Amino acid sequence: MNSHDLSPKDASRHTSERNRSVEFELDPADFERAQRGFIASHPTGQITDDNGRRVSDISAYAFLQTEPPDTVHPALWRHAQLNANHGLFEVTEGVWQVRGYDISNITFIKGETGWVVIDPLTVEHTARAGYELVTQHLGYRPVTAVIYTHSHADHFGGVNGVTTQEDVNAGRCLVIAPVGFMAETIGENVIAGPAMGRRGTYQFGPMLPAGPKGHVDCGLGNSIPVGPPGLIAPTHDITYTGEEMTVDGVRIIFQLTPETEAPAEMNFFFPDLNGLCMAENCSHTMHNLVPIRGALVRNSLKWSKYINESIELFGARTKVLFTSHNWPRWGNDDLINFLELQRDLYKWMHDQTMRQANLGLNALEIGDKLELPDDFLAHDHTRGFYGDLVHNSKAVYQRYLSWYDCNPANLHKLPPVEVGQRYVDLAGGAEALLSKARAAFAAGDYRWVAELVNHLIFADPTHSEARALQADTLEQLGYQSESSTFRNSYLTGAMELRQGPPQLGSSQVRGRGLLIAMTIEQIFDTLAVRLISENVSGLSLKINWHFNDMGGTADERWLLGLSHRTLYSVQGRNDEKAQATLTMARSTLISVIIQETTFIDEIGKGSIVIDGDATALLTIFGNLDAFPNSFNIVEP
């Protein structure tokens, strides 16, 4: 084994035999559905930012037009071929989608004067490219409304590519979202953003080169674009199921679906178009009940019930169904069957996981025991190309019973480095452990090899032979995975064991587009997560804030306090006992947070006026952690 060989390996004999033995019979009409209504595609498939850097490149996936290689699960290969269809598509009269240039779809509904846009993708440049493609082939129309179906970045992050904050402020563009959207967006993308962003590189595989030994798909779509998301805060919240709006002449009936695919999400029906948008509550794949990047655990029981509610509310009138990912369904019989299968999939995972839990099995045992029935394996949209039954069953278990399996031996386990060192010692040393691992690798027992060698790497991350064997092992597991997220995670782990973790930009800078739309309370909450608690023992401080660009709203005055090593904030008042009072613009605070400037520089320029002790301010902001985007995952 050449520990210096950084290139991906071929499929092993065991992997080749396993992938060649896979048999399935899926609906060939999926290919017709994925191509139906095609109008035109982007001229190159390559989307770049203002500096010419690659944002998205569907042309890199031309290799998918061949037969599946041994390095890719054949069902995943078929699914990737479907997702590789890209361009502008007519869904039904008055409704178009641009698909394939982002992991999500952007939908354009023709209004009386402009476009009602649903889910403006992940980044500004893919959304703008989609808008330009629509304009080129359907004519220019302004965007008069944007609808966010839910609180994930691939459904709002490109909003500045289709409208502007100025147009929204002026009332020329309405922004509609489900109630709770902003709180859930900030919780996931900012408070947990740095950790989730790093973990997301494993789930989505953006660092993997496109190819049969690398990235082939993301399950929900071809790939994620490269770039930071933006955000314009909603101007109208949908607060109850059955709420109706007429938006630029387009009638819409909304259905709230909280705690489903996102904590804040909604479906909606267009009665004049007989069209139903199922947001991301239905896709052409089993979804995640908790994604491996991390998130709040989803409620599979409610998810199932909301899909059933959609059938009851809108099913009889629906002639076309479209979603925020993958491709639409047409014809009432077909789409009702689609909805029923989706409904029953999430209910089956819920019920059978809890049945096994109540029989005494723990999450690991359930994940290894449950097998997806033929009822679901027979359909593309209920197979695990994105979510996977192994971790979805664990998500159900976690929601009801937590991470803990009630075995006291697992209540307070030793951390990975110490466990690794002790296991290596127990095995008789590194070479003895490696000898056993190599024998298991030769036998194709890759799951055991991964567990065994992981201990050695955490005991000694410099052990080149262990890193090489673990990389080869994870790679074979990736080649065998039907789930795109499992494949991407395994192959990213293999790549980082060979090359080291990527060097990514600052999380503070990448968060600018979200910070601009956040409330003062949300900004202070995100700062509190960064407080280095051990550095501020015994301190009690208060700072008054007066934001002079808030127009006299309740957000104009704030109190930020440090107490018992914790930051807290109070809206609407100042404290006469505060050590300092700052008068400044909210935008200046954001510039300081993302390190475009400093408090000292802005005080010197006069853009910040401080009355009192500047030391209190510098003490708080001088003890905020900076979060890296490239912390280690497959090594300590």
Q: Nearest to residue 475, comparing CAs of 5, 12, 4, 3? A: 12
Tell me the CATH number at 350. Answer: 3.60.15.30
Predicted local confidence at residue 494, as pLDDT: 98
Looking at the structure, tell me whether residues 526 and 389 fall in a common domain.
Answer: no
Query: How wide is the angle at C-alpha 627 spanned by C-alphas 206 and 158, nearest 5°?
Result: 45
Give a yes or no: residue 547 inside a domain.
yes
Predicted local confidence at residue 568, as pLDDT: 97
Task: Tell me the two tokens of residue 149.
Answer: 């179906």
Looking at the structure, tell me whether residues 382 and 531 fall in a common domain.
Answer: no
Q: Extract the residue ranges of the chain whose pLDDT is less than 50.
A: 1-3
Predicted local confidence at residue 511, as pLDDT: 65
Give a yes or no: residue 450 inside a domain.
no
Specify whether the CB–CB gap between 226 and 55 falls below 8 A.
yes
Predicted local confidence at residue 1, as pLDDT: 37
Predicted local confidence at residue 628, as pLDDT: 84
Predicted local confidence at residue 506, as pLDDT: 55
Predicted local confidence at residue 2, as pLDDT: 40
- The residue segments making up the domain with residue 555 are 519-621
Task: Tell me the two tokens of residue 626.
Answer: 């900076």
User: Which of 358, 379, 401 is at the close of a domain?
Assistant: 401
Predicted local confidence at residue 223, as pLDDT: 98
User: Which of 353, 368, 401 is at the close of a domain?
Assistant: 401
Give a yes or no: residue 122 inside a domain.
yes
Give a yes or no: residue 437 inside a domain.
no
Give a yes or no: residue 468 inside a domain.
no
Predicted local confidence at residue 512, as pLDDT: 73
Tell me the CATH number at 581. Answer: 3.30.1050.10
User: Which of 373, 401, 429 is at the close of a domain?
Assistant: 401
Give a yes or no: residue 8 inside a domain.
no
Give a yes or no: residue 578 inside a domain.
yes
Total count of domains within the chain: 2
Looking at the structure, tell me whether residues 157 and 299 fall in a common domain.
Answer: yes
| Global pTM value | 0.95
DSSP string, 197-208: HHHHHHHH-TTS
Looking at the structure, tell me whether residues 389 and 528 fall in a common domain.
Answer: no
pLDDT, tens digit, 9 for 90 and up, residues 480-506: 999 999 999 999 999 999 999 887 655
Alpha-carbon distances of 185 from 120, 162, 264, 326, 519, rounded to whole Å: 15, 20, 9, 23, 12
Looking at the structure, tell me whether residues 392 and 527 fall in a common domain.
Answer: no
pLDDT, tens digit, 9 for 90 and up, residues 400-425: 999 999 999 999 999 999 999 999 99
Give a yes or no: residue 439 inside a domain.
no
Largest Cα span, the chain: 76
Give bridge partners of residue 611 from the DSSP assignment. 581
Looking at the structure, tell me whether residues 204 and 337 fall in a common domain.
Answer: yes
- How are beta strands 115-118 and 38-40 bridged, if at all? unpaired
Predicted local confidence at residue 551, as pLDDT: 77
Looking at the structure, tell me whether residues 107 and 248 fall in a common domain.
Answer: yes
